[in-house]
């Protein structure tokens, strides 16, 4: 015998419904995958976590490669930090997808990623480092505004289920 809901739909039909998607993503997937969505609070917390872990990792890398001459040091340092850059990029992509932005905004996030890598490879205490820092900051500002302040779409969208569990 089947149990029937208030609107005449069988409860057993409701449990098999594709509308009832659940957001499940491990921490590794949140930091490495380009699929899915994350909400603003999780974006901020993971970004701060990446920043702290990245600083600690950068200190270790600098200690290990400090014997290298200056131009080579910045290049090797940036290469070692590519996983940190990628984790930040994947958070940006998932946050943009939560707000329903894809395509052009993802390309814009890629441009910001490339600018941050170029900024990381500029010689320390040079005029070009100051210039690249300013360019990166100005170009990335709209991306940060969207990722931090824009509300995500309620319910599932083309990029996955709602990270807050609303349907």
- Taking alpha carbons only, the member of 80, 78, 89 closest to residue 31 is 89
SS3 at position 157: strand
Asked if residue 102 is part of any domain, the answer here is yes
Pair 143, 113: CB distance under 8 Å: no
Asked if residue 49 is part of any domain, the answer here is yes
Pair 77, 58: CB distance under 8 Å: yes
- pLDDT above 70 for 130: yes
Give the 3-state secondary structure percentages of the chain, helix then strand then coil, rounded to 5. 65, 0, 35
Confidence band (pLDDT; 50, 70, 90) for 125? confident
SS3 at position 59: helix
Asked if residue 15 is part of any domain, the answer here is no
Structure tokens at 77: 């340092």
Counting the structural domains of the chain, the total is: 1
In this predicted model, what pLDDT tens digit does every residue of 140-149 receive, in sequence order? Answer: 999 999 999 9
Structure tokens at 10: 């069988």
Q: What is the mean pLDDT of residues 61-65?
A: 91
Asked if residue 164 is part of any domain, the answer here is no
Asked if residue 134 is part of any domain, the answer here is yes
Question: Where in the sequence is the domain holding 118, given as residue range(s)?
Answer: 35-149
Asked if residue 71 is part of any domain, the answer here is yes
Asked if residue 118 is part of any domain, the answer here is yes
Asked if residue 48 is part of any domain, the answer here is yes
Quote the crossing angle between the two packed helices 103-120 and 82-98, to the nearest 10°. Answer: 160
Q: What is the mean pLDDT of residues 104-116?
A: 95
Give pTM, 2 decimals.
0.81
- 53 contact partners, CB below 8 Å, separation of at least 6: 84
């Amino acid at each position: 015998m089947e149990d029937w809901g208030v609107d005449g739909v069988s409860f057993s039909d409701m449990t098999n419904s594709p509308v009832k998607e659940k957001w499940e993503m491990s921490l590794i997937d949140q930091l490495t995958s380009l699929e899915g969505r994350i909400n603003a609070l999780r974006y901020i917390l993971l970004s701060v976590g990446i920043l702290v872990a990245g600083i600690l990792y950068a200190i270790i890398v600098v200690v290990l490669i400090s014997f290298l001459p200056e131009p080579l040091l910045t290049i090797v340092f940036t290469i070692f930090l590519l996983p940190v850059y990628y984790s930040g990029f994947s958070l940006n992509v998932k946050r943009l997808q939560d707000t329903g932005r894809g395509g052009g905004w993802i390309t814009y996030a890629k441009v910001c990623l490339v600018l941050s890598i170029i900024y990381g490879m500029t010689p320390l205490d040079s005029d070009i480092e100051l210039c690249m820092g300013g360019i990166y900051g100005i170009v990335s500002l709209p991306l940060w505004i969207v990722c931090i302040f824009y509300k995500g779409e309620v319910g599932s969208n083309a990029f996955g289920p709602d990270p807050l569990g609303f349907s």
